[in-house]
Amino acid sequence: MQIKVNGKDLVLEKELSVKELIDEQRIEAPEYVTVQLNEEFVDKNDFSSIIIKDGDSIEFLYFMGGGRI
Amino acid sequence: MKYSNEQLERYSRHIILKNVGVKGQEKLLGAKVLIVGTGGLGAPAAMYLAAAGIGTIGLVDFDRVELSNLQRQIIHSTKDIGKPKAISGQETIHAINPDVTVITYQEWINSQNITDIIEDRNYDFIIDGTDNFPAKFLINDACVLTGKPFSHAGIIRFEGQTMTYVPGKGPCYRCVFKDPPPPEAVPSCKQAGVLGVMGGIIGTVQATEALKYVLGIGQLLNGYLLTFDALEMNFRKVKLSQNRNCRICGDNPTIRELIDYEQQVCELKQH
C-alpha cells in the first residue's frame, strides 16, 4: 500500500498504526510531534489505535523555534 | 493624505502595483505592526516593513547586541555591539526610512506586560520573531485573547516554518502545538546552530504576511503551516485543521489567562 508522509510517497508492506509508523520513520523526540492524518489532528492517546490505510496522507509537524525537536 | 514628492518617489514601485496603488500605500503608512524580538526573524521583517513604509513599528527586545548575533541579525551592525537591540533596530529603521515611527519596548515579554504592549498603540498585526517556546505560546495566547492577527515563525539549522493566525479564520499555534515542550527537551539556536539566511527567508515571509494583511490582498497563511527545508530547497504548505479541542480557541476554552512557562536557563540571561 502507498501513503504520503510529509508530502513524500512511501510504500508500506502492511498497515501500521500511527505509533508504528513513528517508530519506523525514527521520528526524533516522538513525544513532542504533532500528527495530522488526512488533514485531521490525531490525539496522542490514539497513536497506537489509529491504523494508517492505503492512500492516507500523514503529516508530522515539529516544534521549531530557537529550537526544533 | 498628501504625499510629498520624496514619498511619491520612495514608494513609486508600490504605487505602480495594481494591488497597492496610492490607497494601498496610504494603508501601509497608517498601519502599526509590532515585532517581538529583533533577532534572526525580526531583523529582516522590521527592515522590509520599514522600507515599505509601515507607519508605526513597535520593537520589543530586552537583549543587547552580541558579536554572535551579527551572522544573521542584519538590523544590527558591528558598531552596535553592547547596545540594546531595540535601540539599534530603531536607529537602522530611521536610517532606512525616516517616515516610520518606532516605538521601543526594552522588556522581556511576560504574562503581565504582553497585553499592554499589544494594546499600547493598538497594533494591527504582530510578528513573532522570538526564539523560545514560552514566548511563542505567550504571543499566541495574547493574540487570541485580544483578537489580534499574528505571524508565528521558527527557524533552526537549515529549516524554518511559519503560519499566520487570523481571529476566527483558522487554527491558532496552540491548535497545532498544544503546550510548550519542557525546557530541557529543546535545543536552542545557540546549541543547534542556524544558517544565517534562514531568518531572512522566513522573516521576510512574515513581513509579506503583514503587508498583505494591511493591504487586504491575496491569501494569507491562515490555516496553513509553511515549512521550508533549505538543504532540499523545498517549501511546503501543510493544510491545518481547526482543533475544536484547542484549549484557547476551541469550543470549550479553558485558558482564560496568560501563562508564564519556564524558560531554558541559557535564554534567561539578563543584562
pLDDT of residue B267: 47
| Listed residue (A6, A68, A69, A65) closest to B199, CA to CA | A65
State pTM to two decimals: 0.95
Mean pLDDT rounded to a whole number for chain B: 94
Taking CB atoms and an 8 Å cutoff, what residues of chain B touch A66? 130-132, 154, 156, 186, 188-190, 267
Q: At what angle do helices B42-52 and B197-215 cross, to 10 degrees?
A: 40
* pLDDT per residue as tens digits for the range B94-118: 999 999 999 999 999 999 999 999 9
Cβ of B175 under 8 Å from any chain A Cβ?
yes
CB contact under 8 A, A64 and B243: no
Q: How confident is the model at residue B265 (pLDDT cuts 50, 70, 90)?
A: low
Q: How confident is the model at residue B1 (pLDDT cuts 50, 70, 90)?
A: confident
Task: Look up residue A45 and give its three cell numbers.
Answer: 492517546
Q: Which of residues 182-211 of B touch A (CB under 8 A)?
A: 185-192
Per-residue pLDDT of chain A (69 residues; tens, 9 = 90+): 999 999 999 999 999 999 999 999 999 888 899 999 999 999 999 999 999 999 999 999 999 875 433
CATH architecture assignment, domain B31-267: 3-Layer(aba) Sandwich (3.40)
Domain extent, residue A53, equals 2-68
CB contact under 8 A, A68 and B159: yes
In angstroms, the separation between the Cα of residue B93 and the nearest Cα of chain A is 24
A65 to chain B: closest CA residue = B154
In angstroms, the separation between the Cα of residue A67 and the nearest Cα of chain B is 4
Task: Report the number of distinct structural domains present in chain A.
Answer: 1
Give the CA distances from residue A25 to residues A28, A30, A49, B268, in Å, rounded to whole numbers and listed in that order: 9, 10, 18, 35
Q: How confident is the model at residue B126 (pLDDT cuts 50, 70, 90)?
A: very high
ipTM comes to 0.91
Would you state the torsion angle of the CA atoms of residues B77, B80, B85, B91, taken in this order, to the nearest 10 degrees? -80
The residues that bridge with A67 in the sheet, in sequence order, are A65
Which single residue is written with the C-alpha cell 518617489? B9
What proportion of chain B, given as a percentage, has pLDDT over 70?
A: 95
* pLDDT per residue as tens digits for the range B189-207: 677 899 999 999 999 999 9
Q: What is the CATH number of the domain that holds A32?
A: 3.10.20.30
- The shortest CB-CB distance from B155 to any of A43, A59, A64 is to A64
Would you state the torsion angle of the CA atoms of residues B218, B219, B221, B222, taken in this order, to the nearest 10 degrees? 130
Domain layout of chain B by residue ranges: 31-267
B226 to chain A: closest CA residue = A61
Phi/psi of residue B17, nearest 5 degrees = -70, 135
Cβ of A24 under 8 Å from any chain B Cβ?
no
